[in-house]
């Protein structure tokens, strides 16, 4: 049999449905609560900031949801994404294991974020929305949304976490290229932003703050809605096309993963690749391990508390049942900006609580080392976020070799690092500090992040 390096699918083999894990979860997640009443939020509460179709998806328990034709049309420009066998990396490691990666960086946005940007823009357009506000950390989500909104004729206003805005001017310009307006967050445009700036004019910002700002603007105008790039159930839903494709590709390759690994910020790329494999565990007797890798500086899954918390910094979202470091937690300025979020999505949190998902935390230097090894062997320069998944995969391969076994390892290479070259420069200059959040720090943050009780 000839050596195969990548498993491709044609457009006709592309899945036509997203998978909803809610249908197969043994314990359904607790409901989001209205912070004023303590009652579960209903569709009407959410309709101020989201279009109805996305709200329906947010609460749906249907196993599969059809992908609209207009979305498939744009998916076709970059999907199905390739599944690679990392022959050169395996050789450099001298491992007995087989390492595969699903590459989501080959599209216009350079990351998996395009998978949900397109349907979100589409559903908003269908419901008469004219403008969207959103936040972006590393800039991948903002880039993804910029093109999608421009395609469907929507305006876009992006609040970009200040530290990323400064580290990554290329991402800002890319969003401008796709006609979006980009504002560093915290900004003076909103009450939420001004409050943060009063306390700390030098605030590096956080995803939590940027979400507050974007939601505040959206709530002021009926034709403006808000859009989130991770965490929420409908976002996770759209990302499942990654894992659905991977299942078909493994079938073609005559192989099946023992472990599936993703980096973890809010949960969208990890859930996207792993939930279809979890379905196979739950319904088809498979036993694939699912491993989320998060930064040691922002370790909600490994050191956070499972509790109701806000999804944003200023308390505008419903209360969500999740692993959290507290909505006031400001993570260290690591270069994986997309992982600097205080909480984990509701679905992953419940699954983690119930033991279906493993998690581990990693320091950024080790992840950059893994990224360099990967770049020099496989060629692709990874996004700093994706480097956490790489480090997780290297751990698995090394452990298997120590145990004298061969494993089939799949990780999600969620994006490329072409706009993260400043981070790599710091790595070369040996100026890439490690930071580990301490239990005391987290306890303090949780104490400072009180939420209403009922």
68 belongs to the binding site for a second copy (CB under 8 A):
no
Quote the crossing angle between the two packed helices 346-353 and 233-253, to the nearest 10°: 70
255 belongs to the binding site for a second copy (CB under 8 A):
no
Instruction: State which residue, 14 or 442, has the beta carbon closest to a second copy.
Output: 14
Q: Map residues 296-335 to x or -, x wherever contact with a second copy holds by CB under 8 A.
A: ----------------------------------------
Closest CB 99 distance from a second copy, rounded Å: 14
Nearest to 420 by CA among 386, 379, 378, 373: 386
Backbone φ and ψ of 111, nearest 5°: -160, 175
- Count of CB atoms situated within 10 Å of the CB of 439: 8
Cα 250 to chain center, whole Å? Answer: 23
Report the alpha-carbon distance of residue 264 to residue 311 in Å, rounded.
16
Question: Which residue in the set 26, 61, 173, 220 belongs to the binding site for a second copy (CB under 8 A)?
Answer: 173
11 belongs to the binding site for a second copy (CB under 8 A):
yes
Report the alpha-carbon distance of residue 416 to residue 231 in Å, rounded.
21
37 belongs to the binding site for a second copy (CB under 8 A):
no
- Using the contact rule CB under 8 A, the part of the chain among 80-88, 243-251, 310-318, 333-341 near a second copy is 80-88
Report the alpha-carbon distance of residue 72 to residue 118 in Å, rounded.
9
Rg (CA), the chain: 20
Instruction: State which residue, 168 or 352, has the beta carbon closest to a second copy.
Output: 168
Instruction: State which residue, 48 or 173, has the beta carbon closest to a second copy.
Output: 173
Instruction: State which residue, 94 or 355, has the beta carbon closest to a second copy.
Output: 94
The length of the chain in residues reads: 454
Report the alpha-carbon distance of residue 166 to residue 203 in Å, rounded.
12
108 belongs to the binding site for a second copy (CB under 8 A):
yes
Report the alpha-carbon distance of residue 393 to residue 323 in Å, rounded.
23
3-state helix, strand, coil in the chain (%, to 5): 45, 20, 40
418 belongs to the binding site for a second copy (CB under 8 A):
yes
178 belongs to the binding site for a second copy (CB under 8 A):
yes
53 belongs to the binding site for a second copy (CB under 8 A):
no
- Using the contact rule CB under 8 A, the part of the chain among 28-36, 103-111, 274-282, 433-441 near a second copy is 103-111
Question: Which residue in the set 132, 174, 207, 235 belongs to the binding site for a second copy (CB under 8 A)?
Answer: 174
Report the alpha-carbon distance of residue 234 to residue 111 in Å, rounded.
18
Q: Which residue has the tokens 């709530």?
A: 219
Q: Map residues 129-168 to x or -, x wherever contact with a second copy holds by CB under 8 A.
A: ------------------x--xx-----------------
Is residue 153 within 8 A of residue 132, CB to CB? The reply is no
181 belongs to the binding site for a second copy (CB under 8 A):
no
Report the alpha-carbon distance of residue 215 to residue 234 in Å, rounded.
17
Written as one string, the DSSP assignment of 38-101 is -SBP-HHHHTTTS-HHHHHHHH---SEEEPPHHHHHHHTTT-SPPEEE-HHHHHHHT-SSEEEE
Instruction: State which residue, 147 or 388, has the beta carbon closest to a second copy.
Output: 147
315: its two tokens: 């308390």
- Using the contact rule CB under 8 A, the part of the chain among 33-41, 120-128, 268-276, 419-427 near a second copy is 419-427
Instruction: State which residue, 69 or 440, has the beta carbon closest to a second copy.
Output: 69
Number of residues that bind a second copy (CB under 8 A): 47
Q: Map residues 364-403 to x or -, x wherever contact with a second copy holds by CB under 8 A.
A: --------x--xxxxxxx----------------------
Closest CB 78 distance from a second copy, rounded Å: 7
Cα 302 to chain center, whole Å? Answer: 17
Is residue 204 within 8 A of residue 85, CB to CB? The reply is no
CA distances from 320 to 143, 236, 330 (A): 27, 15, 19
84 belongs to the binding site for a second copy (CB under 8 A):
yes
Report the alpha-carbon distance of residue 235 to residue 227 in Å, rounded.
10
- Using the contact rule CB under 8 A, the part of the chain among 107-115, 155-163, 269-277, 358-366 near a second copy is 107-115
The footprint of a second copy (CB under 8 A) covers 2-6, 8, 10-12, 73, 76-78, 84, 87-88, 106-110, 147, 150-151, 169-170, 173-174, 176-179, 372, 375-381, 416, 418-419, 421, 424-425, 428
């Amino acid at each position: 049999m000839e050596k195969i390096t990548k498993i491709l699918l044609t457009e006709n083999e592309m899945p036509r449905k997203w998978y909803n894990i809610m249908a197969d979860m043994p314990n359904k997640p607790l409901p989001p609560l209205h912070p004023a009443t303590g009652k579960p939020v209903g569709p009407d509460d959410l309709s101020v900031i989201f279009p109805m179709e996305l709200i329906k998806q947010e609460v749906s328990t249907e196993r599969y949801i059809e992908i609209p034709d207009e979305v498939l049309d744009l998916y076709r420009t970059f999907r199905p994404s390739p599944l690679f066998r990392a022959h050169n990396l395996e050789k450099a490691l001298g491992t007995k294991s087989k390492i595969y990666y699903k590459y989501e960086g080959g599209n216009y946005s350079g990351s998996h974020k395009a998978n949900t940007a397109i349907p979100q823009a589409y559903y908003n357009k269908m419901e008469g929305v004219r403008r969207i506000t959103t936040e972006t950390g590393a800039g991948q989500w903002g880039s993804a949304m910029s093109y999608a909104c421009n395609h469907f004729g929507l305006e876009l206003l992006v609040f970009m976490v200040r530290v990323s805005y400064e580290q990554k001017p290329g991402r800002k310009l890319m969003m401008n290229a796709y006609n979006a307006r980009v504002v560093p967050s915290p900004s003076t445009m909103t009450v939420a932003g001004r409050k943060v700036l009063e306390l700390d004019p030098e605030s590096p910002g956080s995803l939590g703050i940027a979400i507050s700002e974007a939601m505040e603007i959206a709530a002021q105008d009926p034709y403006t809605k808000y859009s989130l790039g991770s965490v929420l159930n409908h976002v996770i839903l759209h990302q499942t096309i990654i894992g659905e494709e991977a299942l078909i590709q493994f079938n073609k390759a005559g192989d099946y993963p023992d472990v599936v690994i993703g980096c973890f910020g809010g949960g969208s790329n990890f859930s996207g690749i792993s939930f279809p494999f979890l379905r196979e565990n739950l319904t088809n007797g498979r036993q694939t391990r699912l491993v989320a890798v998060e930064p040691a500086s922002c370790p909600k899954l490994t050191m956070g508390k499972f509790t109701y918390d806000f999804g944003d910094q200023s308390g505008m979202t419903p209360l969500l049942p999740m692993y959290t470091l507290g909505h006031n937690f400001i993570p260290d300025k690591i270069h994986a900006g997309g992982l600097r979020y205080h909480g984990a999505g509701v679905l992953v949190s419940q699954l983690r609580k119930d033991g279906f998902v493993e998690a581990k935390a990693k320091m950024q230097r080790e992840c950059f080392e893994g990224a360099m090894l990967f770049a020099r062997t496989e060629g692709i320069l990874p996004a700093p976020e994706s480097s956490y998944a790489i480090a997780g995969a290297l751990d698995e391969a090394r452990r298997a070799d120590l145990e004298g076994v061969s494993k089939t390892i799949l990780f999600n290479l969620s994006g490329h690092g072409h706009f993260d070259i400043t981070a790599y420069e710091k790595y070369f200059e040996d100026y890439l500090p490690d930071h580990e959040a301490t239990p005391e720090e987290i306890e303090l943050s949780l104490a400072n992040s009180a939420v209403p009780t009922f």
